[in-house]
Amino acid sequence: ALESDAAQPIAIDSNTATYDEASKTSTYTGNVISVQGSIRVNSDKLVAYQKNGEIDKLVFTGNPAKFKQTPSAGGEDILGNAMIGEYYPKKNLLVLQNQAVVVNGNATYASNLIEYDIKSSLVKAGEKSSDTKRVHVILKPKPKDKPESDKPETETNPPPTDKP
Amino acid sequence: DTSVWACQQDKDTNEWVCLDDASPAAIPEAAASTPPKPIAPLTVAPPAVAPPLSLPPPVAPAVAAPLPAPVAVAVPPPTARVLKVPEPVVRPAIKPCASDPQCSADSREDDVQGWHIRLLDPAFSVQQEQVLHTLAAQFPRDPWANCMAAVGTQKNFTPVERLRERFPMDVKANYSEILDNEIGNYSGEVEMNRADQHAQSHAANYDSVSETLDLHGDVYYSDDELALHSDSANIKLATDQAKLRDTLFVYPATPLRGYAEAVYRDDKSLSHYQNVTYTSCRPGNQDWAIHASELKLNKFKGKGSAKHAWLEFKGAPVFYSPYLSFPIDNRRLSGFLAPVFGNTQTGGFHLSTPYYWNLAPNYDVILKPKYFSKRGYMLGSDFRYLTETSRGKVLLEYMPNDEVLSRARYQGSIKNSTQFSPNISANLDLNYVSDKNYFAELGNALNFPNFSFVKSQADINYIREGVALTARAENYQTIDPTLSGSQIPYRRLPQINLNLAHSFNAVVPLDVQLENESVYFQHDSLVNGQRFNFKPSVSFPMQTASAYLTPKVSLQHTDYVLTNQATAGLSKEVSRTVPIMSADTGLFLEKNFQFADKTLVHTLEPRLFYLYIPKVNQNQIPLFDTSVYDFWYSSMFRENRFSGSDRIQDANQVTTALTTRVVDPATGLERLKLSIGEIFYFRNRDVTLCGDYPSVLCAVSPVETQSSSPLVTEMSSQFNRHVAIDSGIQWDPHSNKIVRGKATIHLTGEPGEVINLGYLYRLNPLIPNRSNDITQSDMSFHWPIYSNWSMVGRWQYSWLYNSTQDGFIGLEKENCCWRFRIIGRQYLNSINVINNTDVLSNNTVEGTATTGIFFQIELKGLTGVGEQLDDFFVKSIYGYRKPGK
Amino acid sequence: CGYHLRGAVDLPDSLKKVYLNGASMQLREQFRKVLRGVSGELTTSPEAAGVVINVANEISDQRVLSLSARGRSNELELYYRLQYTLVKADGVVVLEGLPVEIKREYFNNQQDIVAKDNEQQVIRNEMLQQAVRIMLDRIRLSLATDKK
C-alpha cells in the first residue's frame, strides 16, 4: 500500500457527528465519507476510536459500506464493500465482515470475513475451523497476449477487451 | 451383406474418412455396385490420463459476466453499484458416494452374480468402486450408457481448442490466504473450477504466476476427457506436466476405468503409469481386469503399450504377456482380434487368433493363423484395399499339409469393383477352392456350405440413360461331390448384352427398347453353343394417377451355332423368331376410413395382364440357361414362364389379379396387403423343356393342358412395429389340392428380441417319391433371458423326412466389457453318399447329420471386436440386427 | 361403396425431379425406369432436383429357408432392406428412416444353377421396382396428408 497513507490525516465528512470524551470515541452518521491519503470509505455510520490522541480504529457500517485504496503509485485501485468494516490505520489492516467483497486487480474475494493486510498485501478470508464463512475467490486469467509485463494496464493503452 | 460403405478421401488432408453406414450424411456420388463390408473392426484401448489442454465450453452458459469496472468512490454521494461476486454456474460439489443410496447400490451392481468363486481378491475394493462410480458420474453423459453400441460410434470425449486460458479460475473454500494475488493457499472443502476442469480436495495451493497447482487430501479432478481421484496431485498447468499418487481414473472415450499407484504426465500427449489395473467393465463389475507393471500411452500416435501385463478374468489369472501394444482411440491400429475356437467332427478342435494389421489408411489385412487338431496348421489372410476408383478384397487360405489327406489344400477369392467413371464400371468376383470337400471339412461350424457351386464372374459395364452395355464371363466350380457330367453347369465365356431404351412423349407415350445378347456357352461334355439374341420391343405406357394401360409388342429373334454335339445329325445352326404381345392394365381405387381414431387408406387395385405368343418349335434348341420359373404371384406377370431365352413359351392367356391394401399414411406401414391372382389359359402350353438334347428338366415341364393356373393368394401385414405376418397359398382347382404354401410370423420387441416362426409347404407331383417337395417348419429366435445373457437359435425341421435339417442353439452374453458366445450347430453333411442312381430324386443321397461347436470371447478394450457371429445371426435370423446398427 | 379413383395426387412437378444420393447401380437403374413411367427423371445434381433421397444403407442378401434330404438348400429367401431419408428442396425432411424391407422366396434346388441365377436376377429387379414404388407411394401418401 502507499506508505504515505498511514501518515496522512483522516478527513471525515458526514451529516451528523458526535464526540464522547469519556470513551474517546466520535460517531458520524448519515452519508459518512472518510478519506486518508488514497484510502476512502463510504458508509452510513462511522465510529472512530482514539487512543492517546491518535485514531486507533475506525468501525464503519453500511448497506453496504464501501472501501477504496490505491495500493501503489499508478496501480489499480483496490475496492471492497461489506456490511461492517474495521480499519486499523497504524497496522494498515482492514477487516470486512458479513457479505464482504474485495476486488484487487484480477482477483475478487467474497466471504463473511475478510482480513486484508494492506501493507503486505496479504488477504485472509473465511475461517479455518468452520465452514460457516465460506470463501469464494475468482481469479481472472491474465491476458496472455502481453508477454512483457504483468503489471495491471495503465490508462494509456486501451483497456482489455473484456471490459463491458 | 453388401451394405454401402461410405468412405471418401478428404481433399486437403487426404485423410480417409469412413462414415458409419447408418449415418445418412453426404455419401460420394458414385457408390460402387458391390461395396465390401467396412474396413476392419475398430480396436479400443485403455486410458490416456493426461489432463488435456483445451476443452469444449462447459455446459454452463458464458462465463460469469466480467466484473463491473471498479468505480472511483467520488466525494459526492457515490452511485457506485454494490460489488457482488456473480455466482457462475459450476458443477455441484461431489458428494461422497457412500451418502448417495443410488450410487452405492450401483457400485455393487454385479455382486448379485457372486456365484463365481474368486481365486484372487477383487481388483477394486468396494470403496474404490464407489469412488470410480462418482468419477463416472462427473461426465455430462454416462460413459457406460449405451456401451453396447458398435465401438467407435459413441459421441467422443475430445476437447475443443484452447479455452481454459480465457476462463477465470473460480475457487471456494472454508479458508484462504492469498499473497499478492498470486500465491493462494486454500483449505477446507476446496472446490476449484476453470472452464470444464473441476477439482476438489481438502487443501490446495495455486500459484498463478508459475501456474502450478498442488492438491492434497481426497483429491477429485475431472474435465471433459478424464476423471481422477488421488491422495495428492501436483499439476503444472502451463507445461501440462502432472504427478499423481494412488490414483483412480475413468477414461470415458473407451470407456475404461482403473487404478494406478503413480501417474506421471510428461507432456501434452505422453503419460505413463506404474502398477496399473484397468478394465472396461461398468463400475461395480469386475469381470475382467488387466494388471500391468508399467503402462505408457501416446495420445498423439493413439498407441498404448504395457509391460508385464497379465489378464484376470472372473477372478482367475488367465493370460500373461511381457509386452502388450494396443490402440487407445478408434483409429484402426494393428492388434489382435478376438480369438475364435470351436470343434467339428471333421476338423476336430480348431483355434484361430486373427491379427489385424493396418498397413495404410486405405488398405489393411487380417492374418488368420488357424490350427485344426485333426488336420494341422493353416494360414489365412483377408486383404482389403480402397483406392480413388476401386475397392476390393483378396482372401487366401493355405494349408500346407492336411494330416488326414496328406496334401496341401487352399482357397482363394478376389472381389473387386472399380468405378472408372460415372458410366463405366467393372466388377470381379473370382473364387476357387482346391477340392470339393474343402468347406465341409475345413470350414468352421458357422459357414458350413449348403450350396453346391462356387460362382466366379467378371464383368465390365457401360451404363447411362438409355444405354446398358455389359460384357461378362462366368464359371461355376462344383463342390458337391455327388454332382458330375451333365449336372455341371455351363460356363458363359463371354456373355455380351447391349440394351438400348428410349422413350418418346409423342401424342401417346412410346417406349422403344432393343435388347441384344451374344453369349457362348461352354461345357466339357454337353453341347456348346454360341447364341445371338435380338429383341426389339415397343410399348405404350399410358398412365394416370388412377389407372394404367401398357400394351407391349416385341419380336425375339435368336440364332444358335452349336458345336460338340453328342449325337450326329442334329443341325448345327438353328434360328427362331417369335413375336410376343402383352398388355398390362390396372386401376387404383382407394377410400379413407377411420379405424381406432386413425385415418387409414384402403385401396383396391384390380389388374389384368394379357399375353399372346404363337407356338414356335424349339426342339432343336438345347437348354443352356433355361428352366421353369418358380410359380408365385409375381411370376404371373412375366412374359415367359421359362427363365433364360432357350425356350419362349407359347401363350394365349390372361392373368386376373386383385390387390387390396390398408395403409397408414402417416407412417407408411402396410397394415394389410392381400393379393389374389389366377391365370386363365385359352390354349395348351405345348412348348416344354424337352427337345433333341436330353435334359433332366424335360420331366419337370410336360405339356400343360389345364385351363387355369393355381389360385395364388399372398397376404402380408404389419400390425405394428412388433408383429408382422407373411403368408401365401396356391390352390390348384383341378386337383383340388394346395400345391404351395408359406406362412411366417415375425415378433420383434426391444432391440435384440426377435422370434420368427415359419412353415413352408411344396408339392410337385411331377417328381417321383416327392423328392423336390418341402414340408418344413422353421423357428428362429434371439431373446434376452437374464442380465444381458441371451439365448439364440434356429431349428429347421423337415416333416417330410422327419429329421432336423439344420439347427443351432447358443448362448450369448454381452455387456460393457466383454462378449461371449457359444453355438452348437447340427447340419446335414452329405459327404458320405449312399447311392446316386436317380439324379433327380435326391433322397437316395442321404445326408448324415454332423455337429459343430463354436466359441467366441472378446474383452472390449483388450482385443478388437470380432464380427464373425454377428453376420451369421443376421443371415440366419430374420430381423436380427447387429448391436448398435 | 365409397371407393373412388385415386385422387390426382400425382407426383407434383417439384417431385418429378429426384436426386438419388448413395444408391447402388441396380437401384438407380430401377428408379430411373419407374420414374420414367411417371414421367419423372433422375437429376445429376441435388440442386436441379425437387427432392433428394439420401440412401443411408442398402442390404441385398439371401438366406436358406429349407434344405433337401442331402442338406443342400432348395428354397432361398432373397431379402432387400433399404434405409433412406427424403429431403425436399427446401430442406424439410419429409420421411424419417422407416426402412423398406422386401423379401421373396423362390425354389432353387441348385439343379440348374445358371437358369436359377437368371431367375434370381429377374426377382431382384422386381424387388427393386417394388421398393421404388413403395417409396413413391409413401411420398404420395405423405403429400396427400400434407395437403389436407
The cell for B90 is 459450476
Residue A151: which residues within 8 A CB-CB, separation 6 or more?
A: A75
| Closest to B574 (Cα-Cα) out of B563, B553, B584, B559 | B559
Flag whether residue A14 sits within 8 Å of chain B, measured between CB atoms. no
From C35's Cα to the closest Cα of chain B, the distance in A is: 12
From B83's Cα to the closest Cα of chain A, the distance in A is: 7
Flag whether residue A156 sits within 8 Å of chain B, measured between CB atoms. no
Pick from A43, A138, A162 the residue to mutate for testing the B interface (most B CBs within 10 Å).
Answer: A138
Task: Name the percent of chain B lying above pLDDT 90.
Answer: 35
- Using DSSP, state whether B186 is helix, strand or coil: strand
From B874's Cα to the closest Cα of chain A, the distance in A is: 56
pLDDT value of position B340: 80
Q: Which of residues 51-80 of A touch B (CB under 8 A)?
A: 64, 66, 68, 76-77, 79-80
Which residues in chain A are closer than 8 Å to B68, comparing Cβ atoms?
Answer: 164
Confidence of residue C97 (pLDDT cuts 50, 70, 90): low
Is B545's CB within 8 Å of C10's CB?
yes
Q: Locate cell 494389421: which residue?
A: B357
Pick from B546, B673, B832 the residue to mutate for testing the C interface (most C CBs within 10 Å).
Answer: B546
User: What is the DSSP code (8-state) at residue C30?
Assistant: H
pLDDT value of position B117: 62
Question: Residue C27 pLDDT more than 70?
Answer: yes
The pLDDT of B380-401, averaged and rounded, is 91
Chain A partners (3+ C-beta pairs within 8 A): B
pLDDT value of position B746: 94
Which has more confidence, B276 or B849? B276
Distance, CA of B106 to chain centre: 33
Distance separating the N- and C-terminal Cα atoms of chain A: 28
From B171's Cα to the closest Cα of chain A, the distance in A is: 5
Confidence of residue B163 (pLDDT cuts 50, 70, 90): low
Query: Contact B442/B372 with Cβ under 8 angstroms?
Result: yes
Question: Residue C138 pLDDT more than 70?
Answer: yes
C-alpha to C-alpha distance for B150 and B131, rounded to whole angstroms = 28
The pLDDT of B244-254, averaged and rounded, is 83
Is B451's CB within 8 Å of C59's CB?
no
From B87's Cα to the closest Cα of chain A, the distance in A is: 9
- What is the H or E stretch that residue B754 is in? strand B754-762
Helices vs. strands in chain C: H and E counts, helices first: 3, 7
Flag whether residue A12 sits within 8 Å of chain B, measured between CB atoms. no
Most confident among B1-15, B75-89, B111-125, B218-232 (mean pLDDT) = B218-232
From B230's Cα to the closest Cα of chain A, the distance in A is: 23
Q: Return the ∠ at Cα B632 (arms to B630 and B634), rounded to 5°.
A: 110
pLDDT value of position B103: 57
- Could you read off the pLDDT of A109-140 as tens digits, one per residue? 899 999 988 788 888 998 888 888 889 988 88
Query: Contact B382/B393 with Cβ under 8 angstroms?
Result: yes
Residue B339: which residues within 8 A CB-CB, separation 6 or more?
A: B351, B352, B353, B354, B857, B863
Letter string b/e over residues B511-550, b meaning 16 or more CB atoms within 10 A of that residue's CB: bebebebbbbbbbeebbbbebebebebebebeeeebebeb
Most confident among A66-75, B240-249, B407-416, B500-509 (mean pLDDT) = B407-416
pLDDT value of position A138: 87
Which residues in chain B are closer than 8 Å to C75, comparing Cβ atoms?
Answer: 760, 762, 774, 776
C-alpha to C-alpha distance for A60 and A43, rounded to whole angstroms = 6
Query: Contact A86/A95 with Cβ under 8 angstroms?
Result: yes
Is C72's CB within 8 Å of B842's CB?
yes
- Integer CA distances (angstroms), B242 to B158, B216, B264, in order: 19, 14, 6
C-alpha to C-alpha distance for C75 and C109, rounded to whole angstroms = 7
Question: Residue B836 pLDDT more than 80?
Answer: no
Confidence of residue B70 (pLDDT cuts 50, 70, 90): very low
Question: Residue B440 pLDDT more than 90?
Answer: no
Most confident among A15-19, A157-161, B207-211, B223-227 (mean pLDDT) = A15-19
pLDDT value of position B118: 66
The pLDDT of B38-46, averaged and rounded, is 28
From C124's Cα to the closest Cα of chain B, the distance in A is: 11
Q: Do chains A and C touch (3 or more CB pairs under 8 A)?
A: no
From B55's Cα to the closest Cα of chain A, the distance in A is: 16
Q: What is the mean pLDDT of chain A?
A: 78
Is A139's CB within 8 Å of B208's CB?
yes
Distance, CA of B187 to chain centre: 55
Q: How buried is B93 (Cβ within 10 angstroms: 0-12 exposed, 13-18 middle, 19+ buried)?
A: exposed
The strand pairing partners of B42, in sequence order, are: none
Q: Return the ∠ at Cα B495 (arms to B490 and B499), rounded to 5°.
A: 140
Of A27-41, B40-54, B443-457, B509-523, minimum mean pLDDT range: B40-54
The cell for B19 is 462414415
Question: Residue B64 pLDDT more than 60?
Answer: no
For every residue of B482-524, DSSP letters joined together read T--GGGSPPEEEEEEEEEEEEEEESSSEEEEEEEEEEEEEE-S
Is B601's CB within 8 Å of C141's CB?
yes
Which of B167, B172, B174 is facing A128, going by the closest CB pair?
A: B174
Most confident among B363-377, B870-884, C14-28, C61-75 (mean pLDDT) = B363-377
Question: Residue B102 pLDDT more than 80?
Answer: no
Is B21's CB within 8 Å of C57's CB?
yes
C-alpha to C-alpha distance for B193 and B50, rounded to whole angstroms = 18
Question: Residue B471 pLDDT more than 90?
Answer: yes
pLDDT value of position B422: 82
| Closest to B93 (Cα-Cα) out of A134, A61, A3 | A134
Which residues in chain A are closer than 8 Å to B172, comparing Cβ atoms?
Answer: 134-137
Q: Return the ∠ at Cα B342 (arms to B280 and B867), rounded to 5°.
A: 45
Alpha carbons within 13 A on the beta-carbon side of B696: 15
- Integer CA distances (angstroms), C55 to B818, C87, C99, in order: 33, 11, 10
C-alpha to C-alpha distance for B396 and B384, rounded to whole angstroms = 12
Which residues in chain B are closer than 8 Å to A31, comparing Cβ atoms?
Answer: 77
Q: Locate cell 383341378: which residue?
A: B734
- Using DSSP, state whether C16 is helix, strand or coil: helix
The cell for B303 is 498407441
The pLDDT of B683-702, averaged and rounded, is 86
Q: What is the mean pLDDT of chain C?
A: 80
Which of B64, B188, B208 is facing A131, going by the closest CB pair?
A: B188
Main-chain phi, psi angles of B777, to 5 degrees:
-105, 150
C-alpha to C-alpha distance for B661 and C72, rounded to whole angstroms = 36
User: What is the DSSP code (8-state) at residue B703?
Assistant: P
Is B845's CB within 8 Å of C57's CB?
no
Confidence of residue B834 (pLDDT cuts 50, 70, 90): very low
pLDDT value of position B792: 93
Which residues in chain B are closer than 8 Å to C112, comparing Cβ atoms?
Answer: 489, 623, 626-627, 697
Question: Residue C71 pLDDT more than 80?
Answer: no
Residue B381: which residues within 8 A CB-CB, separation 6 or more?
A: B365, B366, B367, B368, B394, B395, B396, B397
- Could you read off the pLDDT of B139-157 as tens digits, one per residue? 887 878 766 554 444 444 5
Is C25's CB within 8 Å of B463's CB?
yes
Which of A123, A133, A162 is facing B178, going by the closest CB pair?
A: A123
From B869's Cα to the closest Cα of chain A, the distance in A is: 55
- Using DSSP, state whether B298 is helix, strand or coil: strand
Is B179's CB within 8 Å of A122's CB?
yes
C-alpha to C-alpha distance for B325 and B302, rounded to whole angstroms = 11
Confidence of residue B845 (pLDDT cuts 50, 70, 90): low
Question: Residue C37 pLDDT more than 60?
Answer: yes
pLDDT value of position A48: 87
User: What is the DSSP code (8-state) at residue B637?
Assistant: G
C-alpha to C-alpha distance for B713 and B707, rounded to whole angstroms = 18
C-alpha to C-alpha distance for B483 and B522, rounded to whole angstroms = 18
Which has more confidence, C144 or B503? B503
Pick from B552, B805, B882 the residue to mutate for testing the C interface (most C CBs within 10 Å).
Answer: B805
Sign of the C-alpha dihedral, residues A50, A54, A56, A62? positive
B-C CB pairs within 8 A amount to 242
Distance, CA of B522 to chain centre: 37
DSSP 3-state percent helix, strand, coil across chain A (nearest 5): 5, 55, 40
Which of B544, B696, B806 is facing C67, going by the closest CB pair?
A: B806
Q: Return the ∠ at Cα A158 (arms to A156 and A162), rounded to 5°.
A: 140
Most confident among B117-126, C95-104, C119-128 (mean pLDDT) = C119-128
ipTM over 0.90 threshold: no
Question: Residue B40 pLDDT more than 60?
Answer: no
C-alpha to C-alpha distance for B56 and B710, rounded to whole angstroms = 68
pLDDT value of position B438: 87
Long-range Cβ pairs for the range A59-66 (8 Å, 24+): A59/A84, A59/A85, A59/A86, A60/A32, A60/A34, A60/A84, A60/A85, A60/A86, A60/A87, A61/A85, A64/A99, A64/B82, A65/A41, A66/A41, A66/A42, A66/B73, A66/B78, A66/B80, A66/B83
The cell for A81 is 464493500
Which has more confidence, A20 or B49? A20
pLDDT value of position A10: 78
Strands B409-419 and B169-173: unpaired
pLDDT value of position B610: 97
Question: Residue B865 pLDDT more than 60?
Answer: no
pLDDT value of position B55: 23
Kindly identify which residue of chain B lies nearest to residue C86, measuring between CA atoms.
B24
- Could you read off the pLDDT of B617-644 as tens digits, one per residue? 999 999 999 998 999 999 999 999 999 9
Angle separating helix axes C25-37 and C113-147, nearest 10 degrees: 60
Is C3's CB within 8 Å of B589's CB?
yes
Residue B125: which residues within 8 A CB-CB, separation 6 or more?
A: none
- What is the H or E stretch that residue A6 is in? helix A3-7
Flag whether residue C144 sits within 8 Å of chain B, measured between CB atoms. yes
Q: What is the mean pLDDT of chain B?
A: 79
Strands C41-42 and C17-21: parallel
Most confident among A38-47, A50-59, B50-59 (mean pLDDT) = A38-47
Question: Residue B400 pLDDT more than 70?
Answer: yes
Is B22's CB within 8 Å of C57's CB?
yes
The pLDDT of B511-529, averaged and rounded, is 93
Which has more confidence, C75 or B508? C75
Flag whether residue C129 sits within 8 Å of chain B, measured between CB atoms. no
C-alpha to C-alpha distance for B836 and B771, rounded to whole angstroms = 13
Q: Locate cell 472452464: which residue?
A: B195
Most confident among A37-46, B445-454, B660-669 (mean pLDDT) = A37-46
Task: Name the percent of chain B lying above pLDDT 70.
Answer: 79
- Integer CA distances (angstroms), A41 to A4, A34, A164, B636, in order: 17, 5, 25, 101
